[in-house]
Structure 1
Amino acid sequence: MGLGRRFNRLWAASAAGNLGDGVYRVAIALLAARLTSDPVAFSALAALGFLPWLVLGLPSGVLVDRHDRRRLALVVGAMRTGVLAVLLAAVAVDRASLWLLYVVVLVLGAGETVYDNAVGSMVPAVVGDRERLETANGRLQGAGLLAHDFVAPPLASAVFAMAAGAAFGINVACFALAALLMLALPGTYRAQVDQPTRMTQAMGQAVRFVRGDLLHRAMLSVVVVLGFANAMAMALVVLWTREVLGIPEAAFGLFLLTAAVGALAGSQTAAWVAARTGRGRAMALSAVVTGLGMLLAAATRSPYVAAVGWALTGWAILVWNVVYGSLRQRLTPDALLGRTIGIYRVVAWGVMPLGAIAGGVLADAGDLRTPILVAALLTLAAGGYAALRLTNTRVDTAITKADAEMKNTTDGAEAAETTGDAVSGGRGAA
Structure 2
Amino acid sequence: MTALWRNREFTLLWTSQSLSDLGTGVASLAFSLLVLVETGSAVRAGLVGTLSMVARLVIRLPGGVLVDRCDRRRVMVVCDSLRLAAFAVLTLAVFSGQVGLPLILVVTLIDSSAGAVFGAAEDAALRSIVPIEQVPAAVARNEARSYGTSLAGPPLGGFLFGLGHAVPFLSNAISYLVSVVAVLRIRKPLQGEREEQSQPYGAALAEGIGFVFAHPFLRALLLIAAPLNFAIGGVLFTVVVALQQNGTPPAVIGLTETIVAVGGLLGAVAAPALQSRLSVPSLVRGICWAAAVLVAGSALLISNIGAAVPLGLAVFLGPACTAALFGYQAAVTPDRLQGRVISIVMVAATSMAALAPVVGGVLLSSSSPSTAVLVFAASVVVSALTATFSTGIRGVEEIDLPGPVIPPAGVAE
TM-score normalised by L of structure 2: 0.90
User: Helix, strand or coil for the counterpart of 1:120?
Assistant: helix
| Contact 2:268 2:316 (C-alpha < 8 Å) held by counterparts | yes
- Distance in 2 between residues matched to 1:402 and 1:104, nearest whole Å: 45
Deviates more, 1:336-345 or 1:350-359: 350-359
* Structure 1 pair 97–235 and aligned structure 2 pair: CA distance change class (3 A): farther
Work out which of the residue numbers 113, 117, 122 in structure 1 matches 2:120. 117
1:17-416 aligned at under 5 Å gives the runs 17-127=20-130, 129-146=131-148, 148-194=149-195, 196-244=198-246, 247-301=248-302, 303=304, 305-389=306-390, 393-398=394-399, 403-404=404-405
Q: Looking at CA atoms only, which structure, 1 or 2, has the larger radius of gyration?
A: 1
1:159 and 1:167 in contact (8 A); partners too? yes
Q: What is the one-letter code of the residue matched to 2:146?
A: G
TM-score normalized with structure 1 length? 0.87
What displacement does 1:201 show? 0.9
Q: Provide closer, same or farther for how the CA distance between residues 369 and 163 of structure 1 changes in structure 2, counting only shifts above 3 A.
A: farther
**CA RMSD after TM alignment:** 2.4
Separation in structure 2 between the aligned mates of residue 37 and residue 286 of structure 1, nearest angstrom: 45
- The whole-number CA distance in structure 2 between the counterparts of 1:39 and 1:399 is 53
Q: Residue 358 of structure 1 aligns to a residue in which SS? A: helix
Q: Distance between the aligned counterparts of 1:277 and 1:85, measured in 2?
A: 47
Quote the Cα distance in structure 1 between the aligned partners of 2:98 and 2:238. Answer: 34
TM-fit CA distance, 1:304: 5.4
Of 42-51 and 58-67, deviating more is 42-51
Unaligned runs of 5+ in 2: 408-412
Quick check: 1:330–1:402 contact (8 Å CA) kept in 2?
A: no
Instruction: Write the deviation string for residues 203-249 of structure 1: whole angstroms up to 9, x where unpaired.
Output: 111111111101101111222222322332233443233334x5421
The answer on whether the counterparts of 1:232 and 1:359 sit within 8 Å (CA) in structure 2 is: yes
Deviation at 1:75, TM superposition (A): 1.2
Report the Cα distance in structure 2 between the residues aligned to 1:35 and 1:298, rounded to whole angstroms. 41
1-structure distance, mates of 2:386, 2:133: 25
Deviation string for 1:361-407 (max 9, x for gaps)? 0011113444323112211232122121167641133556993459x
In the alignment, is the contact (CA less than 8 A) between 2:57 and 2:350 conserved in 1? yes
Q: How much has 1:84 moved relative to structure 2?
A: 0.9
Structure 1 residues 90 and 289 mapped into 2: Cα distance closer, same or farther (>3 Å)? Answer: farther
Q: For 1:412-423, what aligned pairs fall within 5 Å after superposition?
A: none
The alignment covers a number of residue pairs equal to: 404
The 8 Å contact of residues 61 and 117 in structure 1, kept in 2 or not, is answered as: yes
CA distance in 2, matches of 1:376, 1:393: 24
Rounded Cα–Cα distance in structure 2 between residues aligned with 1:99 and 1:362: 36
Q: Give a deviation string over 1:402-425, Cα, whole Å, max 9, x none.
A: 93459xxxxxx9xxxxxxxxxxxx
What are structure 1's unaligned runs of at least 5 residues? 407-412, 414-430
Partners of 1:291 and 1:390 lie apart in 2 by 21
